[in-house]
């Protein structure tokens, strides 16, 4: 098992008050190597909090998050560069004063992997479907779709075992979203990537992911294979599915 999230709780102090607001309530799930798991929920459901815990950016109240059997912070310390993240806002994810080459090679330089940088950057640009001629340009000279591909190239530069994609396509135009989803599919297949794909877009999740997790008000209310979405049991999952998929949501055991 690559990632194990077990009975995770997280709360924050309310602003100006002494009591806490429970944000995550007993979240449990697993991700196998080579799997893409989608986490879907509306704003305020706890998606981003969970991603920060998995990335080791925050401390959980109780429960455990293990990667390859080790606590996440210990694993990250022992496996530098083996977990990557692609955020929603590509404009703030890249230093505007860096060239595209510098943006992509930043994690490699940090890990002291400076050998053949030009060749490595060229290969990464080609992997994400961009011209190598772009490497000497600056972020403001590229389109949003191109910059998100640059961010993906940076994320895979260290050959990570696990990538968190946190609303990675939501800021893009619909046509560009489709291109990036296809790119992520190809990378998953070619590089045996393991993804946690966090989104509020159910169609994107269903298109990319093997397994789909529905989170509602801090609780995991459905964990279902993407091929079985029509048989979701929770009312929240059914409501989301009814809003985007032109088919009737069925209970287990019923027929169309």
Tell me the CA distances in angstroms from 40 to 33, 66, 67, 123, 209, one per residue in order: 20, 21, 21, 32, 11
Give Cα 129 distance to the centre of its chain.
Answer: 20
Q: So what's the pLDDT on residue 254?
A: 44
13-44 core/surface letters (b: 16 or more CB in 10 A; e: else): eeeeeeeeeebbbebebebeeebbbbbbbeee
Structure tokens at 191: 């590089």
Structure tokens at 254: 């019923």
Q: Which backbone phi and psi does 176 adopt, to 5 degrees?
A: -75, -35
Adjacent-strand bridge partners of 30? 4
Structure tokens at 128: 């994400």
pLDDT tens-digit series, residues 110-168: 999 989 999 999 999 999 999 999 999 999 999 999 999 999 999 999 999 999 999 99
Q: So what's the pLDDT on residue 23?
A: 96
**Cβ-defined contacts of 206-211 (< 8 Å, 24+):** 206/38, 206/245, 207/181, 208/36, 208/38, 208/181, 208/184, 209/36, 209/37, 209/38, 210/35, 210/36, 210/37, 211/31, 211/35, 211/36, 211/37, 211/38
Q: Rounded mean pLDDT of 3-15?
A: 93
CA angle, corner 120, sides to 116 and 123, nearest 5? 145
Q: Which backbone phi and psi does 27 adopt, to 5 degrees?
A: -75, 130
Tell me the CA distances in angstroms from 28 to 155, 169, 214, 223, one per residue in order: 26, 25, 12, 10
Q: So what's the pLDDT on residue 172?
A: 87
Q: Rounded mean pLDDT of 49-77?
A: 96
pLDDT tens-digit series, residues 86-112: 998 888 889 999 999 999 999 999 999
pTM exceeds 0.85, yes or no: yes
């Amino acid at each position: 098992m690559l990632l194990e999230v077990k009975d995770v709780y997280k709360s924050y102090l309310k602003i100006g008050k002494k009591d806490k607001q429970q944000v995550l309530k007993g979240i449990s799930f697993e991700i196998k190597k080579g799997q893409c798991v989608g986490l879907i929920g509306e704003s305020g459901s706890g998606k981003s909090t969970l991603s920060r815990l998995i990335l080791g950016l925050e401390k959980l109240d109780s429960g455990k998050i293990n990667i390859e059997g080790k606590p996440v912070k210990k694993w990250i310390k022992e496996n530098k560069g083996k977990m990557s993240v692609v955020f929603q806002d590509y404009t703030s994810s890249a230093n505007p004063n860096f060239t595209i080459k510098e943006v992509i090679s930043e994690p490699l330089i940090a890990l002291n992997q400076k050998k053949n940088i030009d060749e490595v950057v060229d290969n990464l640009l080609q992997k994400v479907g961009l011209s190598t001629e772009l490497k000497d340009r600056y972020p403001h000279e590229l389109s949003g779709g191109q910059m998100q591909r640059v961010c993906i190239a940076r994320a895979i530069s260290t050959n990570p075992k696990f990538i968190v994609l946190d609303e990675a396509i939501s800021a893009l135009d619909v046509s560009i979203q489709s291109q990036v989803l296809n790119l992520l599919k190809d990378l998953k297949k070619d590089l045996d990537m393991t993804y946690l794909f966090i989104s509020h877009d159910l169609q994107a999740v269903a298109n990319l992911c093997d397994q789909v997790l529905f989170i509602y008000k801090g609780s995991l209310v459905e964990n279902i294979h993407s091929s079985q979405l029509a048989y979701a049991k929770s009312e929240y999952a059914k409501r989301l599915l009814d809003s985007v998929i032109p088919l009737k949501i069925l209970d287990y055991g019923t027929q169309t």
